[in-house]
Structure 1
């Protein structure tokens, strides 16, 4: 399981580093979405500069996963990113959901390896220092 989690961590880190950089450098051309609601969504994201934050977090989390430092922080950041990615595809672009699902599966594999880091979050009554 440790080898699988390490491979998944590197793959997930590579995916989010590449697509985070792509958000700034636009070296992978994306076709425009067919759904008019998706076009409106992307227009709002671009005009408000929300995309810079979104891609910045992807890049930071991807680099953290590749480095092996602060993996729990990277997983926390990517959890929010994946919710946004999967929600967008589930509601506006279902045919493009496969890469998001792959990233979610990789995230789960890495999370299971680092689940002890998240144990205090699920304590009903955590100790107060």
Structure 2
């Protein structure tokens, strides 16, 4: 049972490192505008052309590395927290039609919530 947080951290870190690096190296095929929907495609085209997506992807890579290392996991969760919230928001608001129930969204959300729950005592110290 004590290894489950390490496995969850490694999986979450691997996901963010993979998708963050994919933005720069293009080793995975992403859906075209028609498959993703016009609103989603327009959103990602606009943040991609502005350079903001590159900024976010750098923080995904940094947060993924930090989450994968047990000693820096909580700091990594602080970095990735806003990104996870935005992933959920994009899937609820922009994509809609139950996109929040897509397997990658569920996996990232559940792993993040689990790691946050495991480290809750340390996070509660931030509120005092």
* Aligned counterpart, 1:64: 66
* Aligned counterpart, 2:29: 29
Please tell me the root mean square deviation across aligned C-alpha atoms, in Å.
Answer: 1.7
Question: When the two structures are aligned, how many residues end up with a matched partner?
Answer: 123
Question: Is residue 72–residue 114 contact of structure 1 (8 Å, CA) maintained in 2?
Answer: yes
The TM-score normalised by the length of structure 1 is 0.85
* Aligned counterpart, 1:87: 89
**What secondary structure does 2:3 align onto?**
helix
- Relative CO higher for 1 or 2, CA cutoff 8 Å, sep ≥ 6? 1
* Aligned counterpart, 2:107: 102
User: Unaligned regions of 5+ residues in structure 2, if any?
Assistant: none
**What secondary structure does 1:2 align onto?**
coil
Q: Which has the higher Rg, Structure 1 or Structure 2?
A: 1
